[in-house]
């Protein structure tokens, strides 16, 4: 498994990704290790997945609401507007969970608001035991294998979302957020009201907001890839540049120009080159 260095906001991060044998549908993992010359704070860019941070260094997250700093292993949801990540000694394994998979593994809907939830609040003493075992591993391959084992066990013990909700999420993801809720309801065989209610209770967002988030994610990565706001708006399902501007500000608290240069996205071509939005087939 290759480890690739990436320069991010004054730090050089060695990034590791799992071998094929340790990959799971609906789940992406990456390992980060490095040291910054000074403790920096990076605005978190929202992503269509819940994210578990298994921290073995000194990482912390700062809530947008109240500026509360949370240290140690934690989970952030689908809409962390204004949240900032901070660290100097970086050593962590990051796990991104499709919301339909997260419902099984974490037992919560995807939208945790703009707060950080300590992993121990969701997994109890299991969180500390996993962290101790991670510290004892000798390689990233071992860490990824351990994480896969834990995630598989928790998924087997968890409760799956309704098949119709999983199908709706997958359709939204495959359409890059450009499918209408009425069509989704027709395809699931549910009423619009029932789909809206069940989807929100299990994913944490309404179908419309989920579509906006996935559309935003594609737009953010196209902007970071050097495409102009005009092009991204025209080709991404936005009515005009003002529409793009409003949605980028709504999700990230940043302008399209600022998103294009967001340090948080600089690791994505290495760590998250194949995003996992969809649930298990």
Co-location of 115 and 194 in the same domain:
no
The pLDDT tens digits of the residues spanning 208-235 come to 999 999 999 999 999 999 999 999 999 9
Count Cβ atoms within 10 A of the Cβ of residue 196 and give its class: 0-12 exposed, 13-18 middle, 19 or more buried: middle
- Are the C-beta atoms of residues 183 and 192 closer than 8 Å to each other? no
In a domain, 39, yes or no: yes
Co-location of 77 and 135 in the same domain:
yes
Contacts of 231 (CB under 8 A, 6+ apart): 222
Residue 106 belongs to domain with CATH number: 2.60.120.10
Q: Of 159, 192, 213, which residue sits at a domain end?
A: 159
Which two structure tokens, joined as six digits, stand for 177? 């957020």
Co-location of 61 and 171 in the same domain:
no
pLDDT tops 80 at residue 262: yes
Q: Of 159, 187, 208, which residue sits at a domain end?
A: 159
> CA-CA distance, 117 to 74, in Å (whole number)?
6
In a domain, 66, yes or no: yes
| Percent of the chain predicted with pLDDT > 90 | 53
- Are the C-beta atoms of residues 152 and 76 closer than 8 Å to each other? no
Residue 113: per-residue pLDDT: 63
Co-location of 92 and 106 in the same domain:
yes
Q: What are the two backbone dihedrals, phi and then psi, of residue 168, each rounded to the nearest 5 degrees?
A: -65, -45
In a domain, 278, yes or no: no
Co-location of 74 and 201 in the same domain:
no
Co-location of 145 and 12 in the same domain:
yes
The pLDDT tens digits of the residues spanning 45-94 come to 999 999 999 999 888 888 776 566 778 899 988 877 778 888 888 899 99
In a domain, 110, yes or no: yes
Co-location of 125 and 172 in the same domain:
no
Co-location of 148 and 74 in the same domain:
yes
Residue 184 belongs to domain with CATH number: 1.10.10.60
> CA-CA distance, 229 to 240, in Å (whole number)?
9
Q: Of 134, 159, 184, which residue sits at a domain end?
A: 159
Co-location of 153 and 190 in the same domain:
no
In a domain, 32, yes or no: yes
For the chain, give the mean pLDDT. 87
Co-location of 22 and 140 in the same domain:
yes
Residue with tokens 């300590």: 118
Based on the structure, what is the number of domains in the chain?
2
Co-location of 119 and 243 in the same domain:
no
In a domain, 74, yes or no: yes
pLDDT tops 90 at residue 20: no
Co-location of 117 and 201 in the same domain:
no
Domain that holds residue 249: 163-263
The pLDDT tens digits of the residues spanning 97-126 come to 999 999 889 887 666 766 788 899 989 998
The 3-state secondary structure of the chain reads: CCEEEEEECCEEEEEECCCHHHCECCEEEEEEEEEEEEEEEEECCCCCCEEEEEECCCCEEECCCCCCEEECCEEECCCCCCCEEEEEEEEEEEEEECHHHHHHHCCCCCCCCCCEEEHHHHHCHHHHHHHHHHHHCCCHHHHHHHHHHHHHHHHHHCCCCCHHHHHHHHHHHHCCCCCCHHHHHHHHCCCHHHHHHHHHHHHCCCHHHHHHHHHHHHHHHHHHCCCCHHHHHHHCCCCCHHHHHHHHHHHHCCCHHHHHCCHHHCCHHHHCCCCCCCCCC
Residue 196: per-residue pLDDT: 93
pLDDT tops 50 at residue 278: no
């Amino acid at each position: 498994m290759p480890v690739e260095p990436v320069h991010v906001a004054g730090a050089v991060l060695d990034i590791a990704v799992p071998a094929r044998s340790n990959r799971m549908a609906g789940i992406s993992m990456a390992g980060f290790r490095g040291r910054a010359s000074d403790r920096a704070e990076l605005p978190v860019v929202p992503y269509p997945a819940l994210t578990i941070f298994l921290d073995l260094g000194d990482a912390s997250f700062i809530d947008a609401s109240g500026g509360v700093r949370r240290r140690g292993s934690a989970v952030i949801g689908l809409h962390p507007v204004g949240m900032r990540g901070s660290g100097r000694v970086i050593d962590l394994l990051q796990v991104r969970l499709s919301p339909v998979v997260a419902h099984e593994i974490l037992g919560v809907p995807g939208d945790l608001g703009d707060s950080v939830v300590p992993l121990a609040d969701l997994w109890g003493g299991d969180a500390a035991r996993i962290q101790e075992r991670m510290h004892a591993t000798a390689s990233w391959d071992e860490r990824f294998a351990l994480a896969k084992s834990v995630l598989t066990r928790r998924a087997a013990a968890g409760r799956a979302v309704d098949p119709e909700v999983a199908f709706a999420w997958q359709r939204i993801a495959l359409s890059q957020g450009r499918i209408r809720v009425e069509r989704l309801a027709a395809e699931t065989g549910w009423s619009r009201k029932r789909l809206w209610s069940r989807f929100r209770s299990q994913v944490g967002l309404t179908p419309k907001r989920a579509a906006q988030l996935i559309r935003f994610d594609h737009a953010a990565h196209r902007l970071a890839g050097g495409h102009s706001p005009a092009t991204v708006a025209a080709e991404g399902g936005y009515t005009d540049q003002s529409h793009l501007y409003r949605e980028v500000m709504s999700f990230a608290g940043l302008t399209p120009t600022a998103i294009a240069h967001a340090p948080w996205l600089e690791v994505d071509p290495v760590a998250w080159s194949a995003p996992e939005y969809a649930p298990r087939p």
